[in-house]
Amino acid sequence: MRFISPALALLAVTWHTVPVSPKGSLRPAGLHRPDSADVVAVAEAFHAALAAGDPPTVLRLLAPDAVILESGDTEARAEYAAHHLAADIEFVRAVPGTREVTGVRVEGTVGWVTATSTTRGEFRGRTIASQGAELMILSRIGRTWLIRAIHWSSHRL
């Protein structure tokens, strides 16, 4: 099993659920908002799906060519799905934390969200106390925003 780095602490967060339309659209149901709000909603829906233990939704929000960068490693979407997603879900559900969006920017069909987090708890017998940072890059295809890249980093408190 892969070692779970302190960078996963970024994922252990308290989330507000963003409803997704029943037809499986990535656009939140009943919401018609500017692009920047939609970009943030997709990032929050990703984290909500991790917290809910919902791999199909996590993967639906990731573009087919998405990359995840963490702890000096790079994973393609398929590698993340096969090797790391289950551990991220386990971690998020076990360790409480808070997350705050610190910035969002949209330039045409590309958007990015930055966030910070603080996580404290215990995971697999280890004490977790960390501060994290996240960068998500998204792109819009038609009316749908997809996550193209995620970069997570953290350090001990």
Reported as a single tens digit per residue, the pLDDT across 57-116 is 999 999 999 999 998 999 999 999 999 999 999 999 999 999 999 999 999 999 999 999
What mean pLDDT is predicted for residues 143-156? 96
Reported as a single tens digit per residue, the pLDDT across 3-51 is 333 333 333 333 333 333 334 444 444 334 578 999 999 999 999 999 9
pLDDT at 138 over 60: yes
What is the edge-to-edge ordering of all strands in the sheet holding 62-70?
73-76, 62-70, 144-156, 126-141, 110-123, 97-107
Q: In which element (H, E) is residue 43 found?
A: helix 35-52
All domains of the chain in start order, with CATH: 6-156 (3.10.450.50)
User: Where do the DSSP E strands lie in the chain?
Assistant: 62-70, 73-76, 97-107, 110-123, 126-141, 144-156
CA distance 102 to 154: 15
- List helix spans (H) across 53-136: 55-61, 77-83, 85-94
Bridge-based pairing of strands 97-107 and 73-76 is: unpaired
CA distance 28 to 147: 15
CA distance 67 to 137: 10
- The per-residue pLDDT for 34 is 74
What mean pLDDT is predicted for residues 115-131? 96
Q: In which element (H, E) is residue 7 found?
A: none
